[in-house]
Amino acid sequence: MAKMGKKAVHFGAGNIGRGFVACFLHNSGYEVVFADVNASLIDTINATPSYKVIEVGSEGTSESTITNYRAINSQTHEEELIEEIRTAEVVTCSVGPNILKFIAPVIAKGIDRRADDQTPLHVIACENAIGATDTLASHIKDARNTDPARLETHHLRARYANSAIDRIVPAQDPNAGLDVTLEKFFEWVVDKTPFEDVGIPSIEGINWVDNLAPFIERKLYTVNTGHATAAYHGYNRRKRTVYDALQDKQIMAEVRGALTETKNLLVAKHNIDEEAQLAYMNKIIKRIGNPHLEDAVERVGRAPLRKLSRKERFVGPAAEAAENNMPIKYLLDAIEMTFRFQDVEGDDESKELSSIMSENSAEEVVAKVCGIQPTEKIHPHLVQIVKRVQDDSRED
């Protein structure tokens, strides 16, 4: 039977999956097969022939309609999903960095069934994390998921490219159904080098580059650092949304301060033009303060343990800047506010953070949560912050 059109399998049928990644795949002529574990969401997708993606910005609102998709429950219909992966051109995901290890086994099975003379599967993880596709690839190639004897020819069946995605998708109206509202601005940058000898997939909206590192760090250390700084300071000052937080002059000063510190690092490290980074920073502050994107500080602040980890938006740039004797006062302020994000309703990591803080010494917390060694210049600063937060908790 002749093969019909192009197909992409996307793991994670949530707002980013439907509103961002699937939208671009659809616009590029792909049939999109969503893979998810949420049974009611799967049923809704399969019962709904189209949904809308609504883009909002200061210059107005626009809508586009998405069609030509299906959904598979990866828990109950694994065999079906393996077959879809075997016959797809592209696999993407937006499941959260901590879930990559759970989707790896089924992707590994689908890849293993592909013929060596087929064009390799193009795998792109679309996550808020540095090197997320590499992480996914390491789980897929793990001996538990792929026979080590098959690794020598694995590159004939699959190729992996890291990406940086940038688009603010706020909490949605509970009555929106499958429709997704997001900001107009977007950036999707993908490393083209792993695909160059086998063909770069035609996906509208992707900026294919040779060196992804500056884009990933610029995005993570500006958008994510700025967004989270506003949210954690806002939470500790009892603000409702990120927009509300940024109306507070002191919080705005903290956000500008933290992003000036990351700007200094990015300019020095990647030889980025300082004026260009300053303009980008100002654009990001405007974006995260978009009044059309009602973004609760608790939602933006969720998962504080991940956000306090070694390669993430705060400790990553602060540790590197400290080693280079650059100022990190505002990043340390943001780190302190993140450590104070404890026992927040609906956020398991904030509860786990509370337990870790109460059961460990400050030095143990810094090692366990931040992955920072005593030899690093930032270490005493972090220990001091943790001790202060622990002392305040005991007084409460």
The residues annotated as belonging to the active site are 219
Q: Give the span between the Cα atoms of 226 and 273, in whole angstroms.
A: 20
Residue 183, H or E segment = strand 180-183
Q: Give the span between the Cα atoms of 140 and 157, in whole angstroms.
A: 12
Q: Which residue has the tokens 């770069």?
A: 200
> Residue 172 is which amino acid?
Q
State phi, psi for 12 to the nearest 5 degrees. 105, 95
* DSSP class of 64: E
Sign of CA dihedral 354, 359, 361, 364: negative
Residues 218/220/224/225 CA torsion (nearest 10 deg): -70
Contact 277, 317 (CB under 8 A): no
Pairing of strands 69-73, 60-66: unpaired
Contact partners, residue 107, CB within 8 Å, separation at least 6: 11, 85, 91, 123, 136, 140
Of 134, 167, 147, the closest CA to residue 53 belongs to 167
Tally of residues, the chain: 396
Q: Which residue has the tokens 């659809």?
A: 26
Q: Give the span between the Cα atoms of 16 and 234, in whole angstroms.
A: 24
Sign of CA dihedral 313, 314, 319, 321: positive
* C-beta neighbour count of 240 within 10 angstroms: 14
